Amino acid sequence: MRANTDRGSTPQERRASMRYLWEIAAGAVGFLVTFLFLPEVVPTEPGSAAGVVVALVPLVPVIWIAVALIRHVGRVDELQRGLLLLSLAIGFGAAMLISLVVVFLSTAAIVVDQPEWWVFIGGMAVWGVSIGVLSFRANR
C-alpha cells in the first residue's frame, strides 16, 4: 500500500511531506492542549489581562501551523503546490458557504450556537478532505 502512495515521488519529496506532517501534527497537538487544558490549569478572571493572554495563547500553535504550511509550499514541486492551492481554495469556499448558511439561518430567526466554530471546523475539514482527494486523483 505504501508503494502506491510514494509512486512518482522522490526521497526528497517524501522527506518534505513527512516533515510537514510532523510540523502540522505538533501544531495541532499544541493547539488542542493550549485550547482545552490551559484555561483549566491557569484559571483567570473573565476579561482580565491574564484572561486575554490565556485566551490568545492557542494562537501560537496556529501560527506555527501557518508557517509550516508556507514552508511546505516552498518545498514542494509545481504539481503539489497547485494541489495545495486548489485545496485551500476549496476549503475557503466551504468556509464562506458555511458562513452564509449561518447568516441566512439567523435571518430566519434560527440561532446557530457558536457559528465561528462551524465556519472554522467546516473550512478546515473540507480543506483536509479535498487535499486528500486531489492528491489521490493526481497519483492515479
Whole-Å CA distances, 22 to 16, 19, 64, 69, 76: 10, 5, 12, 11, 16
* 16 — pLDDT class (breaks 50, 70, 90): confident
Which pLDDT band holds residue 1 (cuts at 50, 70, 90)? very low
What is the C-alpha separation between 36 and 38, in angstroms, rounded? 6
pLDDT in tens, 63-107: 999 999 999 988 888 988 999 999 999 999 999 999 999 999 999
pLDDT at 101: 96
- What is the model's pTM? 0.77
Question: Each residue of 49-61: pLDDT tens digit?
Answer: 999 999 999 999 9
